[in-house]
Amino acid sequence: MLSIIVPVLNEARNIPVLHDEIRAVMNVIGKEHEIIFIDDGSEDDTLETIKNLGSRHVRYISFSRNFGKESAIIAGLGKARGEAAVIMDGDLQHPPSMIAEMNAHFEAGYDQVIAKRNRSGEPLMKRIPANLFYRVMNSTSTVRLVDGEGDFRLISRKVVDAILLLSENNRFSKGIFEWVGFGKKVVEFNHVGRTNGKSGFNPFKLFDYAVDGISAYNHRPLRICFHLGLVVLLISLAYILYIFVNILIYGVDEPGYFTIIASLLLLGSVQLFSLGIIGEYVGRIYIETKNRPNFIITEESDSEPLEKDDLH
Ligand code: UDP
Ligand code: MG
DSSP string, the chain: -EEEEEEESS-TTTHHHHHHHHHHHHHHHT--EEEEEEE-S-SSSHHHHHHHT--TTEEEEEESS---HHHHHHHHHHH--SSEEEE--SSS-S-TTHHHHHHHHHHTT-SEEEEEEE-TTS-HHHHHHHHHHHHHHHHH-SS---TTEEEEEEEEHHHHHHHHH---SS--HHHHHHHH---EEEEEEE-----SS--S--HHHHHHHHHHHHHHS-SHHHHHHHHHHHHHHHHHHHHHHHHHHHHHHH------HHHHHHHHHHHHHHHHHHHHHHHHHHHHHHHHHHT--S--EEEE---PPPPGGG--
Ligand nearest to the backbone CA of 89: 1
Residue 85 CB contacts under 8 Å (≥ 6 apart), including other chains:
2, 3, 4, 5, 76, 77, 154, 155, 157, 160
Task: Report every protein residue that has its C-beta within 5 angstroms of ion ligand 2.
Answer: 91, 93
Q: Taking the model in full, what pTM does it have?
A: 0.72
Q: Is the CB of 25 under 6 A from ligand 1?
A: no
Q: Is the CB of 199 under 6 A from ligand 1?
A: yes
Q: Is the CB of 150 under 6 A from ligand 1?
A: no
Helix axes 203-216, 124-140, angle to 10 degrees: 20
Ligand nearest to the backbone CA of 69: 1
Q: What is the pLDDT of residue 311?
A: 46
Q: Is the CB of 70 under 6 A from ligand 1?
A: no
Q: 232-265 burial string, b = 16+ CB within 10 Å, else e?
A: beeeeeeeeeeeeeeeeeeeeeeeeeeeeeebee
Question: Exposure of 222 by Cβ count < 10 A (0-12 exposed, 13-18 middle, 19+ buried)?
Answer: middle
Q: What is the best residue among 13, 18, 43, 89 to mutate for testing ligand 1's pocket, by most ligand atoms within 8 Å of CB?
A: 89
Instruction: State phi, psi for 9 to the nearest 5 degrees.
Output: -130, 115
Respond yes or no on whether ipTM tops 0.90.
Answer: yes
Q: What is the pLDDT of residue 92?
A: 87
**CB-based contact 81:38 (threshold 8 Å):** no
- Mean pLDDT in consecutive groups of 10 residues from the start of the chain, 312 residues: 94 92 91 93 91 87 90 91 93 90 92 84 74 78 74 91 76 76 82 74 77 73 76 81 83 72 77 79 77 84 56 44
CA angle 76–79–85, rounded 5-degree value: 65
CA 307 to chain centre: 34
CATH class of 2-203+295-300: alpha beta
Rounded to the nearest angstrom, the distance between the alpha carbon of 116 and the centre of ligand 2 is 14
Q: Is the CB of 236 under 6 A from ligand 1?
A: no
Q: Locate the ligand 1 atom nearest the alpha carbon of residue 68 and give its number.
A: 8
Q: What is the pLDDT of residue 303?
A: 54
Domain positions in the chain: 2-203+295-300, 219-290
